[in-house]
Structure 1
């Protein structure tokens, strides 16, 4: 793999020269701004502009924010053209299921679209309690609380439960929402190497006595790599070191485990051994929001004290109804999870046989194709889009440059022909782009 974003030395020098020239040229149409009001100096603004300019210089259209014409499932329509779609969290095809849509419509007819205010201030709707009871049962927990945003769930819960005297120990690939919650809490934050429970325990043993409470946070299914942790050792170390264990199941529900019940089912661990289950409503459950399941005392505390619940509008009734119906279908039709996992295994095996690097993916619902170059990943995504395959590139700085990738989200509704065509298109794109690069060099 060539270095410098997948370009030859000559091509990279030419690109940098073009970008430098653009930056040196003043924009006559732009009014002069005082330093404090110059929005181009805000954190991240220049990085975004640099990526945009690099894409323009390479002749690459942005793959982001494309408008879909309808439901995005195993297939989607973009600009009135059908695509095989690998860029949706609609793992079990429940977003668009008539039963889910009917449940949401009935909730609108009964309660309207919005909860209108916080549940603490103005009361709640019966569907809230029904959803939370079903989610608690799904996780083998005593109680559950639903929030309006998955990201905000982690931010507000981690930020509320821990303080400056405490310790948060998390996987180095943990989601941004947990990192933001840790920052808000003021607790000391330590990251351990990905899925390395032995390294985590060494850190915890060395630091535990220096802090008040300790929280270990892992994910049940990591969205960048599609791999899973060994849950049992994390449960055991939490007990041994008097720590709380939190598992983020955002990409696990409906995806991991024989019937889609998540990492506890996958690893054969009693779910009540985990102190805090976190999940989202926006993926398998085809709604929007997040939730925490655990002991009743924890949920009661969050219900009255978590800022993201107390000071935020309640979950919209049609979203709660859609999530509840999706959960019911998930549990009544376990063949959906089995079909998803079979599709993921098929795609993973074929991609590997074709010579693509897929990392540590467990083949449960997420398969990365790691290309090691942001420009190569962007070019591959563009070529696949042209061939009728919609998949998003993950580029530097979201991942290290050597880990730039295409990230495939599988669905139970993909056909064998869909999967075969995707791998075939990957091979064709690689051959075409490699040939172009060889000619350019």
Structure 2
């Protein structure tokens, strides 16, 4: 009988070699925690594999309510709502609030799931240069001027906490300042920053000392490093309750399996009770980064210093000296991937 072995920091290859596993989001090795496994198995035996229905129709269980309360308490928001799929959370939240005729101003580097939500909303879209707060203010000021005599619409700034495609971090205090100045709301996608940034993994608001209540909607993932599943949106009571009927991915999808809700609650609490986990992660990030950048002659890292996902690009001097085209750059990076796979 074949035995499935969970991914771990060290993996043994078929040829007998033991190597360090860098191709995983299991940053804290929660997946191999015996305490979490025990809690998951206990929940599985008590609740079964899945709730077999949407949250509003048989699907909501006490573990889901506990998880929502745990997330809200961790972030410091009045409420939170849990979705069954991480990807569909942000792409469902956006069209639940922004409709045709409303205005969205978005960072050009936002991830694919966020772009799908923006597309589905059919709102008026304006883009600003990645993480460029001066360009964002220019776009906001122009929009406010253009719509001064038009009927009032809902207006949103959409960005990420830790950018999936670039690896850097948003300037949240400046974003809050612009939001208040031009009367916009903020939708912040923390899919990659929740559980990673901040003293207890509370994300960008914790890392940059911003009151989470100043961010209208905080979206995050419970998969990956938290070893659970699904996603969440945190905000005011009104923001959360509106989604229970208007969030398509919440209303029309089967609820998150109870086992994954229990696991996510456990790991969220562990990060708060054991901040040394975050300290160890950052030491690992620094050690790995020191091996790649600046020691490498070929690549540099664009990721923020606390980002465990290291985004590598070819150095400008390499591109200039070798006059590499975009297809040639892709081939080189693919060779690197195949070499380390």
Shift of 1:318: 0.5
Q: Hey, what does 2:62 align to over in structure 1?
A: 126
Instruction: Give the alignment of 1:8-407 within 5 angstroms.
Output: 70-77=5-12, 79=14, 82-208=18-144, 210=147, 212-355=153-296, 356-364=298-306, 365-371=308-314, 373-385=329-341
Shift of 1:79: 4.9
Q: For the residues of structure 2 that align with 1:190 and 1:70, how far apart are their CA atoms?
A: 47
Q: For the residues of structure 2 that align with 1:195 and 1:359, how far apart are their CA atoms?
A: 17
Larger Rg: 1
The secondary structure found in structure 2 opposite 1:95 is: helix
Q: For the residues of structure 1 that align with 2:191 and 2:65, how far apart are their CA atoms?
A: 21
Q: For the residues of structure 1 that align with 2:334 and 2:192, how far apart are their CA atoms?
A: 24
Shift of 1:95: 1.9
1:78-111, CA deviations, whole angstroms, 9 ceiling, x for partnerless residues? Answer: 6576432222111221122112211211111111
Q: For the residues of structure 2 that align with 1:140 and 1:265, how far apart are their CA atoms?
A: 9
Are residues 219 and 80 of structure 1, via their aligned partners in 2, closer, same or farther at CA, if it must alter by over 3 Å? Answer: farther
Q: For the residues of structure 2 that align with 1:126 and 1:144, how far apart are their CA atoms?
A: 14
Shift of 1:175: 1.2
Q: For the residues of structure 2 that align with 1:78 and 1:156, how far apart are their CA atoms?
A: 40
Count of residues in Structure 1 that have an aligned counterpart in Structure 2? 318
The secondary structure found in structure 2 opposite 1:338 is: helix
Shift of 1:333: 0.9
Shift of 1:70: 2.3
Contact 2:43 2:262 in 1 (8 A): yes
Q: For the residues of structure 2 that align with 1:232 and 1:354, how far apart are their CA atoms?
A: 33
TM-score by length of 1: 0.69
Q: For the residues of structure 1 that align with 2:197 and 2:105, how far apart are their CA atoms?
A: 24
1:356-410, CA deviations, whole angstroms, 9 ceiling, x for partnerless residues? Answer: 433432221122221361111111122223xxxxxxxxxxxxxxxxxxxxxxxxx
Q: Hey, what does 2:322 align to over in structure 1?
A: none
Contact 2:59 2:255 in 1 (8 A): no
Q: For the residues of structure 1 that align with 2:136 and 2:96, how far apart are their CA atoms?
A: 23
Contact 1:99 1:325 in 2 (8 A): no
CA RMSD of aligned residues (A): 1.8
Q: For the residues of structure 2 that align with 1:72 and 1:170, how far apart are their CA atoms?
A: 36
1:226-269, CA deviations, whole angstroms, 9 ceiling, x for partnerless residues? Answer: 21111101011111111111111111122112332211121121
Q: For the residues of structure 2 that align with 1:189 and 1:89, how far apart are their CA atoms?
A: 32
Q: For the residues of structure 1 that align with 2:4 and 2:278, how far apart are their CA atoms?
A: 27
Are residues 159 and 77 of structure 1, via their aligned partners in 2, closer, same or farther at CA, if it must alter by over 3 Å? Answer: farther
Contact 1:286 1:323 in 2 (8 A): yes
Shift of 1:150: 1.2
Q: For the residues of structure 1 that align with 2:12 and 2:227, how far apart are their CA atoms?
A: 18
The secondary structure found in structure 2 opposite 1:367 is: coil
The secondary structure found in structure 2 opposite 1:246 is: strand
Q: Which runs of 5+ in 2 are unaligned?
A: 320-328
Q: For the residues of structure 2 that align with 1:189 and 1:205, how far apart are their CA atoms?
A: 15
The secondary structure found in structure 2 opposite 1:173 is: coil
Q: Hey, what does 2:324 align to over in structure 1?
A: none
Q: Which runs of 5+ in 1 are unaligned?
A: 1-67, 386-441
1:128-186, CA deviations, whole angstroms, 9 ceiling, x for partnerless residues? Answer: 00000000111111011000111111111111110111111111111111111111110
